[in-house]
Amino acid sequence: MSKSYRVAILGATGAVGTELLELLESRTFPVAELKLLASERSAGRSLRFNGENIPVEPVSDRAFENVDIVLASAGGSTSKTWAAIAVEKGAVVIDNSSAFRMNPEVPLVVPEVNPQAAANHQGIIANPNCTTILMTVAVWPLHKIKPVQRIVASTYQSASGAGARAMAEVKTQTSAILQGQPPVAEVLPYPLAFNLFPHNSPLNDLGYCEEEMKMVNETRKIFGSQEIRITATCVRVPVLRAHSEAINLEFATPFSVEAAKEILNSAPGVKLVEDWENNHFPMPIEATGRDEVLVGRIRQDISHPCGLELWLCGDQIRKGAALNAIQIAELLVEKNLLKPLVTSH
């Protein structure tokens, strides 16, 4: 007998929601029934899944009845409104917003890093921030061999991090500039085409933005270590899709470059991309649509004997959001951490 599950996607019409739909199909997740949920504004549309047109329903209390798994990607306020209702009706919620990430009772899971944490869920499992996911997938294999003492991260974040409307806005701005017209910014605070600016999330009293603090706090929680010293500078760049990160790692003792390359070359979820002769390393254009985090340009930090430098690129919509959520769902199925209500011979 095979088990299949009744799945709902909350935020089905957004950039991550449509990617979740594609991944459920391409990875042949055992879906018995599928519900597509969105705001009243998006209700009435239909999306293709396994050759069928599935109608988009407005989210409501009744929408979560007879659902086993909710894949939520509709923003923090929406998740805070509906996650508890979904859990109350018997579903497990895998939430892609920041609403529950730092809740000590909610596991924060990257399957390549801390899959065991998923077993401790009480109905909600949080998907980390995109930049955190990409970084932890690359750093964890090294941290397991020799604990990282300090991480300095600089991110180069694409428009996809702000959603489908931001991606469309960059295209419109690019066209306007090329035609000699002023670019108009409505989704983002400033024009991003042919420009860049520090991440526009709210700043704290120390001058760090919310995005930077997510990398600090979430990485510590995922690694299970509050002692790691972490600092980050997050920047929005005029790239349509896929984020890039420059990572500096400090260890207690030297970590050889060759050992690091060997470890990362066989690490789950990582693809080593290095062609030193042609100065070819990970690029967002090559990471787009890929499941793996592309890692390369691994080198000794010339300013510190125990430091390593590396560069990575990863698809923010895919591994940075939708794929990680699907992998968590697959983990729940594999470890029998769900109660399947549909069984077929």
User: What contacts 24+ positions apart, CB below 8 Å, involve 46-49?
Assistant: 47/12, 47/13, 47/18, 47/21, 49/21, 49/24, 49/25
Q: Which residues are annotated as a binding site for phosphate?
A: 101
**Residues annotated within a binding site:** 13-16, 41-42, 101, 157, 160-161, 183, 210, 236, 316
Whether residue 243 lies in the annotated active site: yes
b/e per residue 297-306 (b: at least 16 CB within 10 A):
bbebeeeeeb
Binding site for substrate, residues?
157, 210, 236
143 is catalytic: no
Nearest CA to 38 out of 15, 11, 19 is that of 11
- Of 121, 143, 199, 243, the catalytic one is 243
Give dist(CA 284, CA 140) in Å, integer: 21
Candidates 121, 130, 143, 313; catalytic one: 130
- CA 315 → CA 25, 171, 274, distances in Å? 19, 18, 18
N-term to C-term CA, the chain:
5
Given strand 270-272, what is the order of strands in its sheet? 197-198, 229-236, 148-157, 243-251, 307-314, 293-300, 270-272
The backbone region for 207, taken as left when phi is positive above 0, alpha when psi lies in -120 to 50, beta otherwise, is left
**Type of residue found at 209:** C
Which residues are catalytically annotated?
Answer: 130, 243
